A = this chain, B = another copy of it.
Amino acid sequence: MGVKNDIIKMAKAAKKASFALSQLSSQDKNFAIRKMAENIERDTNFIIKANAKDIKEAKGDKRKSSFIDRLELNSKRIKSMVASLYEIIKLDDVVGEIREIKRRPNGLLIGKMRVPIGVVGIIYESRPNVTSDCVGLCIKSANSVILKGGSEALNSNSAIFKSLKDAISDTPVPKESIALITSKERKAITELLRLNDYVDLIIPRGGEGLIKEVAEESRIPVIKHYKGVCHVYIDSDADLNMAHKITINAKVQRPGVCNAMETLLVHKDVAARFLPVIADDLKNKGVEIRGCNKTKKIVKWVKKATREDWFTEYLDLILSVKVVDSLDEAISHINTYGTHHSDAIVTDNYNNAMKFLNGVDSACVYLNASTRFTDGYEFGMGAEIGISTDKLHARGPMGLEELTTYKYVILGKGQVRS
């Protein structure tokens, strides 16, 4: 009962605060975000000390080094959190803009005003920097935010949150507009997901299990930030030098992120020329290759891929490779096994390019470029709250604009309907 009541109270207060927040000027919101940046900088040691507790616990639990790396904060990483907040201050504030105003035959002016979504719940794992990034973006877009980080980062998140909350106490931003759920009980998430009267959107960021659970349980609309099983397809009409460069970049430049390539698809007509060369280069760069039967015929030494591989996000120096008979097979493979994240074609053929761009059902579809560009900064929207793999409201990188919605404003001079 305690957890439930706490969360209801928190959400009610956040909803109420969201109305006041939505009326603030950009100056007021930026003032609060600047205070947050100053506080985080001031509290660096305090935050690192709190983080050390989480790290110690993670080590005691024999967590993997990649897990501990994601969890760890140091002064460089905290500087980067501070820098992100200053970046958010610089971004344009779209709240209150009225767009596409049309004059109807009866003289009514009808336009769409950009407005905050209201209260956003963010459920995330590990990386504690998400705490300050999300608070900064939500305040700038005038949304109240309720955070639920993973238990493994509770000390770090609490310290960062304390610093942020303290920062807004002397600003026009209502203090109830930011909240952190500190309960370690699983039912805290369940309770949050039921509060559709107060919370307008849930964004889950993290592992597959978490996201599936949230999506199934939630009564609140969810925008999933799901894994990225991204593909590069080398067409029969590809420039093979370009194909080589893009393949290496998409797999090797930063394999641990969601926009890195996991599966390479190669048209049968170029497979015999392309695969031996790229396989050698990938091997030299430490990449393990798992190929289909046709791939194995061309490059004998690769491991055999199983059906499971086509579904797998390795986030590592592993690549599955499949030779396809046609562009249609490539598109169908991507739509079947991919996660609607980022997929690329390399080709010089106009018709094939258009067919791929139209046929692949993903948030970001590339022609002759690396999938690694799927990112709020690279797309020119500044910081991002994540990358949506859902189809409604927002697809791909979600920035400030995607944290708003619209309402119609209709300006009349006494019009009535006849």
Contacts and interface: CB of A to CB of B under 8 A. Distances in A.
A417 B396 CA distance: 17
Contact of A366 (B200, B248, B410): B410
B249 A416 contact: yes
A409 B365 contact: yes
Nearest to A367: B411
Interface in A393-414: 393, 395-396, 405-414
B414 A369 contact: yes
Contact of A417 (B22, B96, B253, B368): B253
B335 A118 contact: no
B365 A408 contact: yes
Nearest to A250: B416
Contacts of A215: 196, 219
A402 to B, nearest CB: 10
A392 B370 CA distance: 31
Contacts of A19: 335, 359, 361
Contact of A373 (B370, B390, B410): B410
A358 interface: yes
A52 interface: no
Contacts of A219: 215-216
B411 A380 contact: no
Interface stretch (A171-179, A238-246, A264-272): A238-246
A62 interface: no
A355 to B, nearest CB: 8
A414 B245 CA distance: 8
A382 to B, nearest CB: 13
Contacts of A406: 395
Interface string A56-72: 00000000000000000
B408 A395 contact: yes
B380 A104 contact: yes
Contacts of A393: 392-393
Contacts of A301: none
Nearest to A223: B392
Contacts of A239: 414
A392 to B, nearest CB: 4
Interface in A85-130: 96, 102, 104, 108, 110, 113, 115, 117-118
A364 interface: yes
B395 A407 contact: yes
A302 interface: no
A415 interface: yes
A367 B408 CA distance: 11
A245 B414 CA distance: 8
A410 B369 contact: yes
Nearest to A18: B361
B379 A414 contact: no
B407 A363 contact: yes
B364 A379 contact: no
A6 interface: no
A357 B414 CA distance: 16
A416 B216 CA distance: 37
Contacts of A222: 221
Interface string A188-227: 0000000010001100000000000001100101110000
The 3 closest A-B pairs by CB, nearest first: A369-B412, A249-B416, A372-B417
Given A253-B417, A396-B407, 14 more contacts: A22-B358, A23-B359, A104-B378, A200-B391, A216-B219, A221-B390, A362-B407, A365-B407, A368-B413, A368-B414, A370-B417, A373-B417, A391-B405, A395-B408
14 contacts: A22-B358, A23-B358, A108-B373, A216-B219, A223-B392, A248-B416, A363-B408, A364-B408, A364-B410, A367-B410, A367-B412, A370-B415, A370-B416, A393-B393
